[in-house]
Chain A
Amino acid sequence: MSRIIKIIFISLFVFNASAENTIDKAPVLNDIFYGESLFYAFQDKHFDAISKLDAELGQYYALDNPSLDPFNQHINHAEFSAGSFELAYRMHQRAGRAIKAIMESSLNQEIRNEAAYRLAQIYYRKNQPGNALDILEKIQGEMAEDLRVDEIYLRAQVYISTGKFSESIELLKSIESEDKYEGYILYNLGIAYIQNGEEKKAIETLARLGVISTDDRGVLALKDKANLTLANRMLEKGSPELAKKYFSLVRLNGPFADRALLGMGWVNVSLGQFKKALVPWSILQEREITNESVQESLLGVPYAYGQLKYYGQAALSYGKAMDEFGGEIDRLQTSIKSVREGKFLSAVLQKQGERDKNWLHNLRDLQDTPETRYIMSLMASNDFQQSLKNYQDLAELRIRLSYWLATLDVYVELIEIRRKYYEPLLPVVEKQFKKLDARIRLRLSQRDRLDQRLKSLVIARRPDYLATAEERGIQDKLGKIELYLSANPQHYTDEVRERISRLKGVLHWNINKAYHERLTNAYKQMQTLDIYINKLNEAYQSFVRTRQAATQSYEGYDIPIRQLKTKIQANQVKVNGVMARQGRLIEALAVNELERRRNQLEEYQIKARFALAESYDRATKKQQKAEEEKIIQEIEKNKNLQQSSVEQPVADEIQKNDSNKAAEEVVQ
């Protein structure tokens, strides 16, 4: 029973994996760089997606006022995305930390609830249901509508894993009619009933799932799984007829077909229906020989023949089975050798570039690779898949690190070229720039003074500020004349005074009369001047930036590049070490599995050998018996013949005598 539960949990995990929630649609974008990160994520290029998003998040949090940045509108989505990408890249620790940070933030309750749900999901997938339950308990109030069913479903799964079966049943029943997890809910409900000791309800529920109508491949597989589970339960209960019924509901082209066919054969054997057992096993024998069920059926078929007393046929089948087992043992031996030579890991890396979900299965298409068909069941296990993916990820990191190391060398060269070009050039440019800079600053301060004067004219009318150069010249001349006259009063006649006064009056009149027009013109001139000043400023800024960029293009890189190189090299050492360990672990798992299968086949071979001998014996005995019977028959036949040969001459004599008598009578 405990084994069944273990299997159920393994399968439960597998079926859950297909129902996982990920970011699958971008929001309306307010930040183009966030869109770029999603572009990589949607292609499963999680490393690039995380790097880009991390850079965005880093820049956002470094801002003085992040709320003004357009990225602010995506921040919640982006934080979840980061966690989701990290999860997809199997960085559970970091994903968990990121989501926990949101949970503990001051964001609104709905967002924090969603974070709690995501974190609980991580813990559940990491096989830590206790932690998942603690996190789920922190959810307060209502969940967002689009996650309501997901949260209930996850909670129910966590309850099953933590032994709270009644609570789980209650929750699963509350969402039984939901389409989102069609099939999965019934399956888990059935399991919860089994665990809760409600056998009858469990069977009813799984039986309902077993006849569900669907086109979904995942649910179809789940249906098969439910029927197989039911068949096994029936076998355990000693009800082979019912087991037969459930085995027959498993699809012939589904992933559980082989096990069902094998089971069906054995059920028939247990019922004494040996001819019927031959039907599923014959179908099974046409399938892939590396399959465990197929190999087992190679023993089953002759066994059934033997029970039917077709010893000759049984002996032939055992002989065929032995040949097959022998061939497979040789292949396994070669595979073990090949794995130990590292060919399996090379094949894994050859398939590196493929983002196809079936890449694991496609490994068998490669030439000179070990017999991966034999480790398919191992490949289906979560640990092995994670190990393989980790190995591939490490290989990818190794390539990236090598690329960056080579790139940094190029950068060093590039910087050197720039240095050689700019260093002699910049002092000359700098000298010219200083001259121009002084002139520019002078012009800018002149413009500012003019601007201030114009502004002051709006507040206080000062026509003299707008006097022309000629008028200012006349004003100066008149001032000088007055100064001269005050020093030489003998020349200061009334006529002169009147003339000076008239000239001053004319000048005052002209300046005042033209004031408004001049003020308007001055503003217009200032506007025109500002256009040129702006251009000057742009050119100035551009020059400053270019000069700065030129300097920065080769200065200040030596230390950062050296530090980055050291970090890359340190990481390369780490990657190589862990990759070697990961590779050894994968090879050990693969070799263990291959050896297990080889040992199993060797056992089968021994069984087949003994059974073959026995069949020969029986066939020989049967033949001998048949021959003996034949001989006896022959003897009896001969006896009869001999007897008849003794009796015949007497009869002939009698007949002869009779004939003579008759002739005599005729003569007389």
Chain B
Amino acid sequence: MRKIILAFLAIMILNSFSVNAADVSKEQIKGLDEQVQDIKTDVIDLTADLLQLEEKLLFPSNSQFALFVSLADAEDLRLDAIQVKLENKVLAHHLYTFRELEAMQKGGVQKIYTGNIKTGEHKLVISYTAKASSGGEMKRSASYTLKKGVGPKFVEIKIGGPDAGDQGLEFKDW
């Protein structure tokens, strides 16, 4: 009797592990998975072509201008929001989500703006709010004169870090 109960309860416990997938074969699941992979490949390739077309159409290389934001020292501050002004006009404004911030703390770079500007000098003003590691709120602002030549122009705004100025910002032309 005891042995029967033991066998019964072992089966009972084991039953709770198994997953019933009757009528759906492994091959069916695998086959569909492969089809999904093929579609993903096709759509990714297609997207590359579409992005290329979009860039050519909307941001020709002679006037293209893009701004990137990165965090230099991940531990020191929590970036809340950033505003970008070009020639005193708001170009971009962004509130950071936790995931975006986490991605930037790992070294990811956010492309905050892509557009077109004329050749010559332009005044860029960056303002941001953040929380310092001490918990205090920081509001900083810095300006930068960018020189746009005949080719595309890419500028990185690096926030924090040892080389940043009083306003905790560093600009880099790419």
| Residues of chain A having any CB pair with chain B under 8 Å | 3-4, 7, 10, 24-27, 29, 32, 35-36, 38-44, 47, 50-51, 54-55, 58, 89-94, 232, 235-236, 238, 240, 259, 262-263, 266-267, 269-270, 292-293, 296, 355, 377-378, 380-381, 383-384, 386-387, 390, 393-394, 397, 400-401, 404, 407-408, 411, 414-415, 538, 541-542, 545-546, 549, 552-553, 557, 560-561, 564, 567-568, 571, 574-575, 578, 581-582, 585, 588-589, 592-593, 596
Give the CA-CA distance A50 to B24 in the complex, in Å: 32
Contact B110 A377 (CB under 8 A): no
Known contacts: A26-B106, A43-B103, A270-B2. The answer to whether A571 contacts B35 by CB under 8 A is no
| B contact residues around A574 at 8 Å (CB) | 39, 42
**A184 CB to nearest B CB, Å:** 19
Apart from A51-B48, A578-B36, 7 more pairs, CB < 8 Å: A29-B109, A32-B109, A51-B47, A89-B40, A238-B6, A263-B13, A270-B6
B32-62: contact bitstring with A at CB < 8 Å (1 yes, 0 no)? 1111110111111111111111101100101
**Can you pick out 6 interface pairs between chain A and chain B where the beta carbons lie within 8 Å of each other?**
A29-B70, A90-B33, A378-B21, A542-B119, A585-B24, A589-B21
Contact A43 B100 (CB under 8 A): yes
B23 at the interface (CB under 8 A from A): yes
Contact A538 B60 (CB under 8 A): no
Contact B103 A564 (CB under 8 A): no
Contact B36 A394 (CB under 8 A): yes
Task: Report which of A7, A381, A384, A387 forms a contact with B32, defined as CB distance below 8 A.
Answer: A387
B115 at the interface (CB under 8 A from A): no
| B contact residues around A557 at 8 Å (CB) | 53, 57
Contact A538 B19 (CB under 8 A): no
Give the CA-CA distance A102 to B156 in the complex, in Å: 31
Give the CA-CA distance A477 to B115 in the complex, in Å: 64
Known contacts: A578-B32, A585-B24. The answer to whether A571 contacts B46 by CB under 8 A is yes
B154 at the interface (CB under 8 A from A): yes
Q: Which of B1-36 contact A (CB under 8 A)?
A: 2-3, 5-6, 8-10, 12-24, 26, 28-29, 32-36
Give the CA-CA distance A232 to B16 in the complex, in Å: 13
Report the nearest B residue to A557, measured CB to CB: B57
B83 at the interface (CB under 8 A from A): no
Give the CA-CA distance A270 to B51 in the complex, in Å: 68
Report the nearest A residue to B31, measured CB to CB: A581
B147 at the interface (CB under 8 A from A): no
Contact A578 B9 (CB under 8 A): no
Contact B108 A90 (CB under 8 A): no
Give the CA-CA distance A89 to B43 in the complex, in Å: 13
Contact B62 A549 (CB under 8 A): yes
Contact A39 B16 (CB under 8 A): no
| A contact residues around B70 at 8 Å (CB) | 29, 35
| B contact residues around A538 at 8 Å (CB) | 119, 150
| A contact residues around B50 at 8 Å (CB) | 404, 407-408, 564
Task: Report which of B14, B15, B29, B106 forms a contact with A387, defined as CB distance below 8 A.
Answer: B29
Contact A269 B5 (CB under 8 A): yes
Give the CA-CA distance A292 to B18 in the complex, in Å: 12
Report the nearest B residue to A415, measured CB to CB: B57
Contact A26 B107 (CB under 8 A): yes
**B164 CB to nearest A CB, Å:** 16
**A104 CB to nearest B CB, Å:** 21
Contact A35 B107 (CB under 8 A): yes
**B98 CB to nearest A CB, Å:** 10
Task: Report which of A269, A380, A404, A549 forms a contact with B63, defined as CB distance below 8 A.
Answer: A549
Contact A267 B154 (CB under 8 A): no
Task: Report which of A43, A293, A578 forms a contact with B39, defined as CB distance below 8 A.
Answer: A578
**A231 CB to nearest B CB, Å:** 8
Contact B57 A401 (CB under 8 A): no
Contact B23 A592 (CB under 8 A): yes
Give the CA-CA distance A377 to B106 in the complex, in Å: 34
Known contacts: A32-B109, A538-B150. The answer to whether A383 contacts B32 by CB under 8 A is no
Contact A292 B16 (CB under 8 A): yes
Contact A561 B53 (CB under 8 A): yes
Contact A397 B39 (CB under 8 A): yes
Task: Report which of B10, B36, B104 forms a contact with A232, defined as CB distance below 8 A.
Answer: B10
Contact A266 B9 (CB under 8 A): yes
Give the CA-CA distance A562 to B16 in the complex, in Å: 55
Report the nearest B residue to A556, measured CB to CB: B56
B171 at the interface (CB under 8 A from A): no
Task: Report which of B14, B35, B47, B104 forms a contact with A7, defined as CB distance below 8 A.
Answer: B14
Contact B51 A401 (CB under 8 A): no
Give the CA-CA distance A45 to B47 in the complex, in Å: 14
Contact B19 A397 (CB under 8 A): no
Contact B14 A232 (CB under 8 A): yes
Contact B110 A51 (CB under 8 A): no
Contact B110 A236 (CB under 8 A): no
| A contact residues around B12 at 8 Å (CB) | 262, 266, 296
Contact A55 B103 (CB under 8 A): no
Contact B109 A270 (CB under 8 A): no
B163 at the interface (CB under 8 A from A): no
Report the nearest B residue to A95, measured CB to CB: B37
**A199 CB to nearest B CB, Å:** 16
Known contacts: A553-B60, A564-B53. The answer to whether A27 contacts B107 by CB under 8 A is yes
| A contact residues around B68 at 8 Å (CB) | 32, 35-36
| A contact residues around B89 at 8 Å (CB) | none
Known contacts: A549-B63, A571-B39, A571-B42. The answer to whether A232 contacts B32 by CB under 8 A is no
Give the CA-CA distance A150 to B5 in the complex, in Å: 43
B111 at the interface (CB under 8 A from A): yes
Known contacts: A7-B17, A567-B46. The answer to whether A36 contacts B10 by CB under 8 A is no
Give the CA-CA distance A408 to B14 in the complex, in Å: 56
Contact B111 A560 (CB under 8 A): no
| B contact residues around A571 at 8 Å (CB) | 39, 42-43, 46
**B125 CB to nearest A CB, Å:** 21
Contact A267 B9 (CB under 8 A): yes
B137 at the interface (CB under 8 A from A): no
Contact B107 A585 (CB under 8 A): no
Contact A588 B106 (CB under 8 A): no
Contact A39 B104 (CB under 8 A): yes
Known contacts: A32-B68, A263-B13, A553-B57. The answer to whether A25 contacts B103 by CB under 8 A is no
